[in-house]
Each structure stands twice: as C-alpha cells, then as structure tokens.
Amino acid sequence: MHAESIPKGMKKLTIPRSLRDPIRFAAVALALLFPAPHGPAQGLELPDFGSSADLVISPAQEYRLGREFMRSVHKALSVIEDPLLTDYLENLGNRLVAASATGAGRYHFFLIEDPSVNAFAGPDGHIGIFSGLVLTCENEGELAAVLAHEIAHVTQRHLIRSFEDQKRLSIPATAALIAAAILGAQVDTDLGAAAVAGIQAAAVQRQINFTREHEKEADRIGIAILAAAGFDPYVMPGFFERLARTNRTRESGAPEFLRTHPVTSSRTADALGRADLYGHQQRPDALRFHLVRASLRARALGSARKAIAYFQSQLRSKRYRNETAARYGYALGLARGNRIRAARAISDKLLARYPNQAEFMILEARLDAESGAASRAIKTLQTAVGLRPENLPLRIAYADILMAAGRPARALKTLEEVARRRPGKALIYQKMADAALKSGQTAAIHRYRAEKFYAEGDLKTAIRQLEIALRQPGLSYHDAARIQVRLDALKQEK
Ligand SMILES: [Zn+2]
C-alpha cells in the first residue's frame, strides 16, 4: 500500500511507454485523506495559486465538462435516486460549502450504490460519495470530513488546474480522460483507439504523479471547512486512523482511498496538528445521518429477508449505534417484504416520538397507501408539505402517492413545484413525464422527457423530444413559445 499504487479500476491497463507523455493530465481522484508529511501546521492562509486556473477553462466549458463527466458516471456507476438519501447528502454538503472560504459555488452531491469505500470530486463541483463509504462512517462528522476534503478539491480548483497543458484536448476527450482516471471507467471508443489508449495511459500516469500535493492541500482546507461548519476537526484524523486499523485486520484489501493515500504516523500527526488549530467541538449526533445509513444498509443487503434478519438481530442484541435508526431499518425491511402490519406497528411508534421527521412521515404514508388507505396517506403528506414547504422529499412522496391514487394532474402540479425549486433532476422529470402521460398532456410528456434526457447529459435526444413536443396538435401559443425558447437554448448549447 504505497502512494504509487494504481487505483483498483485501472489495474488491468498496460501502458505503452510511448503513450505516457503526449497527453498529460491530472485527475484528482477521490480519496480521502491525508497529505504527505509536510512538517508542523503552517497557518491557515490559502495557497497562492494565482489566476492561472481561471485562464485554463471558461465557466461555460467547465459546465459542459461537468455534464459530459456525469454522463460517464451514469454509464459506469449506479447513482442513487432516492429523494430522502440525496436530499440528506445535498444538505450536509451545502452546509459545508457555506462554511468554506468561498462560501458558494456550483456543487452537485450524489450517492453511488457501491460497497467500495470511496469518494471523488469531478469537474464542475460534481462530488460523488459511495454508499460503502457512508456505511463505514460511524458518525456524521466522519462523512462531513470526507465531503469537506472533496469540497476543498473543488474550491482549490485542483482538477482544472491540472489542465494547464491540456488546452488542445476537446471537451469530450477531456471528460473521458477524467472519467477514466476517477472512475476507472471505460473510455468512450468514439474518440478513436489511439486517443483512448493515450487517455488511459495519461490518466494513470497523472494520477500517480500529481495527486499528492493536491491531497495535502485538500486535507488542510478540508479541516478548516469542517471546523467552520461546527464539526469536530479531530474526526478527520480519527476516521483516517480507524480505517487504517481496520485495514490491517481485513483480508479483502484496502479501501479504495487508502490504496492511493496510505496512512502513516506522520500524516496522522500532521492532521492532528492542523486540527489543534481549531480545537475540539461538541456536536450532537444527527439522527438523520443514522436513518440514511439504515436505509443504505437495507438497500445493500439486497433482499427484504436479509434486511429484516439484520436489523432484528441488531435490536435483539442491542448492538446498534442508534436504536431509532435500527428500528427504522427494520421497518423498511418489513415494508419491502410486504409485512405491512408489522412495519406499521414500528412506524407508528417512530412517528409518535418524532412527529416531524420526514423519513417517518413518508414511511407511514407509504404503508397507508399499500394497505388501501390512500386518502389517509394523501392527507398525511398534504399536511406535511404544508408544514414544511421546503422539504422536497415530502413533496416527491406526496406526488408518488397522488399518482398511485390515480390523480396524475395533481401529482404533476406538485412535481412542477419540486422542479422549480430544484431543477436538473432526471428522476423528477421522469416522474413528470409519467404524470403527463397519465393525465393525457401529450406535449408535456415530451417536454419533460426532454428535460430528463438533458439532465442525463443526452442533448441530442433532448432536442428531438422538444421537436416532437412542438408538433403536438392543440398546443397553446404560450406553451409553443416556451418549448421553442428551450429548444433554441439547447440547440445553441450543442
Ligand atoms: Zn482527495
């Protein structure tokens, strides 16, 4: 386990030496943790990297790069679409962003269904966290530490700064390069065999050579973000030590990020020194973190039977980190196994104790709907949305229940509000297209399908869908004008 080791996904590549130089590039992959030893803490000033990063790539180019990159992500990995899970990660991520020195910027946080202990920062603020990493975290601070590290890669523009030699590469080629380096993804063969080999070779090479300094800086800045957001900065070195310790006793090999970022005593010392600048912070452990973990665990276990057995045994032996979360996981397993009444008994108790917890309101409504009490479910969620209008998972669940109850027009209205508040989510547009289909709004079907494809990075199909939408008979002048405006915008982007 050395810094030179090649990340798992890249292992099988053999790299002709002649290909190593022509395309030089850096992927700042993932990987938590820690810097190479660099002496005692050096103060908090940000490194001076001048403005060269701003010259390398325009915001519009970076946006396109981010979209291309996400297309590769969706091809190579399974992105979790569960509104409750993604909403939690986005909230935590945005809280950390707000505490960073820049305080804003374009970020997209998403979860990947994958047991690897891994995370990465792609172009345009696309930060991916693997479910295996969340399951490894014992408290919210540890997850926040990983996010803070990845956010620091973005604030320091590490990925973009490593492009300085790369201006001659096209956006798709660059995106492919990043995907290959970060995800170990197959490079798009449309680019031509030689380009593909060169890209893969360069990706490996640069990942080996160029990440150390960036990792070091990401840890430094990450600890500052963590402390500013009210998390205990010591969780970073603590988490990192625990992983290394676990790693020594396990046979299945190191977590992904330990492969590229070995834990040494001097690294731990360095991170501790950095944390000393801020001091300990007490923070109550967030229930939501544990609920998200229980939900991810239930998903990871695969079958309802396994999930039920897992949480049942946790509750019997009292071996859980959070009892409420263990009960929630148990109820999720029961619900999935269609044991509605048993799930309902637990869900009632959870809701009685935490009447405003969106997770429990949604579970309760789902169980109601599945046991034929749709109108009760609708009422529960309608009230909940009224009380917490900013909570998007509640709105989405409300729309789902409306759809299931045969009220697609109302569902579509609810989803339109979700999309207005949080644009760009493929899942929402898919639901909107379904609702439009069920309520017979033909132009809207294609309009929302177009947005779904656009959100997934498929510009060509998005344009085609808009063209179909325009051809629908009976289109109002207003709707036609709106579709035309969107079509023009997408064509221009192309
Ligand atoms: Zn990193």
pLDDT digits (tens, 9 = 90+) for 309-321: 999 999 999 999 9
Type of residue at 345: A
Q: How much distance in Å is there from the Cα of 317 to the middle of ligand 1?
A: 38
The count of residues in the chain is 494
The share of the chain scoring above pLDDT 70, in percent, equals 77
Average pLDDT value for residue range 98-114: 91
Q: What pLDDT does residue 207 have?
A: 53
Cα angle 73, 77, 81 (rounded to 5 degrees) comes to 90
Distant-in-sequence, close-in-space partners of 168: CB < 8 Å, separation ≥ 6: none
Q: Give 112's strand partners.
A: 79, 130
Cα(117) to centroid of ligand 1, in Å?
Answer: 13
**Average pLDDT estimate for 281-292:** 89
Cα angle: 197, vertex 200, 204; to 5 degrees: 140
pLDDT band for position 36 (50/70/90)? Answer: very low
Instruction: Let me know if 142 is a catalytic residue.
Output: no
State the distance from the centre of ligand 1 to the C-alpha of 397, rounded, in angstroms: 35
Q: Where do runs of H (alpha helix) occur along 77-157? A: 83-99, 131-136, 140-155
65: tokens are: 């790069």
According to the model, what pLDDT value does residue 114 have? Answer: 92
Question: What is the CA(282)–ligand 1 centre distance, in A?
Answer: 26
What integer is the mean pLDDT of 102-108? 87
Residue 109 token pair: 């946080």
CB distance 11 to 237 below 8 Å:
no
List CB-based neighbours of ion ligand 1 within 5 Å: 31, 215, 218
Report the run of H or E that residue 129 belongs to, with start and end: strand 126-130
- The rounded distance, in Å, linking the Cα atoms of 337 and 308 is 8
Q: Which helix (H) or strand (E) holds 110?
A: strand 108-112
Segment 389-399 shows an average pLDDT of: 96
Give Dmax over CA atoms of the chain in angstroms.
71
Instruction: State the pLDDT at residue 238.
Output: 87
Q: Is the pLDDT of residue 38 over 60?
A: no
Residues forming beta bridges with residue 270, ordered by sequence position: none
pLDDT at residue 349 tops 80: yes
Mean pLDDT of 471-485: 94
pLDDT category of residue 175 using cuts at 50, 70 and 90? confident
With a CB cutoff of 8 Å and minimum separation 6, the contacts of 342 are 334
Say which residues have a Cβ less than 8 Å from residue 282's Cβ, sequence separation at least 6: 232
For residue 33, how far is its CA from the centre of ligand 1 (angstroms)?
6
Q: Higher pLDDT residue, 103 or 22?
A: 103
Closest-CA residue to 45 (of 276, 203, 277, 269): 277
| Nearest residue to 106 via CA among 155, 172, 175 | 155
Report the C-alpha gap between 243 and 238 in whole angstroms: 9
Q: Please choose, from the candidates 8, 66, 51, 87, the residue with its C-alpha nearest in 3D space to the C-alpha of residue 357.
A: 87
In the chain, list all ranges with CATH 1.25.40.
406-494
* Contacts (Cβ under 8 Å, ≥6 apart) of 247: 1, 254, 255, 258, 263
CA of 31 to the centre of ligand 1 (A): 4
- 291, 328 Cβ separation under 8 angstroms: yes
202-217 pLDDT per residue, tens: 555 555 444 667 777 8
pLDDT on residue 186: 54
Per-residue pLDDT tens over the stretch 323-337: 999 999 999 999 999
Residues 6+ apart with CB under 8 A from 17: none
**CA-based angle 458:446:385, to the nearest 5?**
95
Long-range residue pairs from 59-64, CB within 8 A, at least 24 positions apart, any chain: 61/171, 62/123, 62/124, 62/160, 63/106, 63/124, 64/171, 64/493
Is the pLDDT at 183 greater than 80? The verdict is no
- Ligand 1 centroid distance, CA of 150 (Å): 6
Neighbours of 174 (CB within 10 A): 25
Of 485 and 48, more confident: 485
Tokens of 335: 């619900």
Cα(93) to centroid(ligand 1), Å: 16
Does the pLDDT of residue 376 top 60, yes or no? yes
Strand pairing category for 108-112 and 119-121:
unpaired
* Catalytic site residue from 87, 150, 364, 456: 150
Centroid of ligand 1 to alpha carbon of 455 (angstroms): 26
Structure tokens given for 15: 């790299």
What tokens were used for 162?
Answer: 């490593």
406-494: CATH topology: 1.25.40
pLDDT tier at 487 (50, 70, 90 boundaries)?
very high
Tell me the CA–centroid distance for residue 28 and ligand 1, in Å.
7
The single residue of 140, 142, 215, 219 carrying the catalytic annotation is 219
Work out the average pLDDT over 128-136: 94
| pLDDT at 30 > cutoff 90 | no
Distance CA 465, CA 436 (A): 14
150 is catalytic: yes
Give pLDDT tens digits for 399-456.
999 999 999 999 999 999 999 999 999 999 999 999 999 999 999 999 999 999 999 8
* 274 — pLDDT class (breaks 50, 70, 90): confident
Q: Provide the whole-model pTM.
A: 0.83
Sheet with strand 126-130: strands edge to edge: 108-112, 126-130, 119-121
pLDDT recorded at residue 209 = 46
pLDDT score recorded for residue 8: 36
